[in-house]
A and B are shown apart, each in its own frame.
Chain A
C-alpha cells in the first residue's frame, strides 16, 4: 500500500525565512504526489502536484516541491515565509491510473510563522 511520511509535526520559521516541509513516500513505482494546505476549520486546498512531468513542480503562493526518486522524497519549499502561510500542510499520494484514485495522507505538518 502507498504511504507517505511527514517528518516534523510542527515547524516554526521566522517571517521571510525559508520554509522546508519534508515528505517521503513509499512505493515501488513513482506515484502521484500532492501537497495540500488546510486552514482552521476548512477543507483542503491543492498547492501543487507531481504527475511525472517535471521533477521540480511549482505551485500556488510561491511554493514548490522537487520529486527525488533516489531519495523517495517530495519536500515542499518556499523561499520566504509570509504570515499568511501559517497553516497545516499535508503531503498525499495516490496510485497511477485512468480512474479516480483515493488519496493517502501524511500525518500533517503545522507551520507557524513568527513575526
Chain B
C-alpha cells in the first residue's frame, strides 16, 4: 500500500533553534497533506493543512509564523518549528489522502521532537 515517510524520526534540539520535519509520500502524489501534533497520552490535534503550490491553512490557535509549512512538490511537505521552546516538545505526525478514496488517509510514522 501507499507509504508516507517522515524524517527525522526523532530530534533533540536546544531552545531557540529551528527544526525542520519532512513528510514524503513515497509512491503517490499528494496535493494535500495534514500535520497533526500529539502530546503524551493525548489525541492527535490537527495543526494545519498543507497545500501544494499555495499557502497552508492553519487551525485556530496555531501560530503560522512559528510553524512554517512548505509544500513545494507533490510528494514533499515540510514543517519547520521556528525558535523552538520546551513546550513545543511533542510527537508530530503527517498524513496524506488516498487519492482513490479521499476519505482515507495514510499516516507517517511520526517525529518525536524534544526541545531542551
A-side residues, CB < 8 A to B, are 32, 34, 36, 41-46, 49, 51, 90, 94, 96-108
Contact = CB atoms under 8 A, between A and B. Distances in A.
A43 B106 CA distance: 9
A103 B43 contact: no
B10 to A, nearest CB: 8
Given A105-B43, A106-B43, A108-B42, A43 B103 contact: no
6 contacts: A42-B109, A43-B4, A45-B107, A100-B31, A103-B105, A105-B43
B44 A51 contact: no
Contacts of A104: 46
Interface size class of B (residues with CB under 8 A): 20 to 34
Interface in B92-111: 93, 95, 97, 102-105, 107-110
A46 B95 CA distance: 12
Contacts, number: 57
Interface string B1-40: 0001010000000000000000000000001101000000
Contacts of B91: 41
Contacts of B46: 102-104
Contacts of B31: 100
Contact of A100 (B4, B32, B43): B32
Interface string B47-84: 00100000000000000000000000000000000000
Interface of B: 4, 6, 31-32, 34, 42-46, 49, 91, 93, 95, 97, 102-105, 107-110, 112
A100 B109 contact: no
Mostly helix, strand, loop or mixed at chain B's interface?
A: strand
Contact of B43 (A98, A101, A108): A108
A46 B32 CA distance: 19
Given A51-B103, A103-B95, 16 more contacts: A36-B107, A41-B91, A41-B112, A42-B109, A42-B110, A43-B108, A46-B104, A49-B103, A90-B44, A99-B102, A100-B97, A101-B103, A104-B46, A106-B43, A107-B42, A107-B43
B99 to A, nearest CB: 9
